[in-house]
Amino acid sequence: MATITFDVAAFRVAFPAFASETTFPDETLQGYFDSATCFISDCDYGVLRGDCRERALNLMTAHLAELATKINAGMGTGLINSSTIDKISVTLTPPPFKSQFQWWLTLTGYGQQLYALLSRKAAGGLYVGGLPERSAFRKVRGIF
């Protein structure tokens, strides 16, 4: 089974926000890609194959890089509902999504693109229908 490797030059072309080699050295981007493989497998199989899997991994890499950039700049990642200056108070909006992962992906534009791609490519549930005796050598209630 083939694995997808990180191509830094192609990543920089596809995502110009990370084109600066001084701000985003190759080693740093490789680290974000390695972290992205914890979320999305780099093995090329399943419904998400080839260019789509490579795009998903690159989007996750860009999402992680942008989140780290925001956090390092001191920017919050949540939606601020209200704030007070005296006796400092900040209220964040709770995530309006079904899962924390969905909310986390919507914190950047790259994550939103990734969520749309994964939603489009994700398979639904599995249904096996028919009578139960089709999977056995006897009919229902032990009758031959």
Instruction: Report pLDDT for 86.
Output: 79
Instruction: Report pLDDT for 134.
Output: 55
Mean pLDDT by 10 residues, the chain (144 residues): 90 95 95 94 86 94 94 72 73 71 88 90 58 56 59
Q: Is the separation of the CB atoms in 22 and 12 below 8 Å?
A: no
Instruction: Report pLDDT for 78.
Output: 61
Strand partners, 84: 89
CB neighbour list of residue 91: distance below 8 Å, 6 or more residues apart? 80, 81, 82, 83
Instruction: Report pLDDT for 129.
Output: 52
Tokens 């995502």 identify what position?
A: 15
β-pair type (89-92, 80-84): antiparallel
Instruction: Report pLDDT for 15.
Output: 96
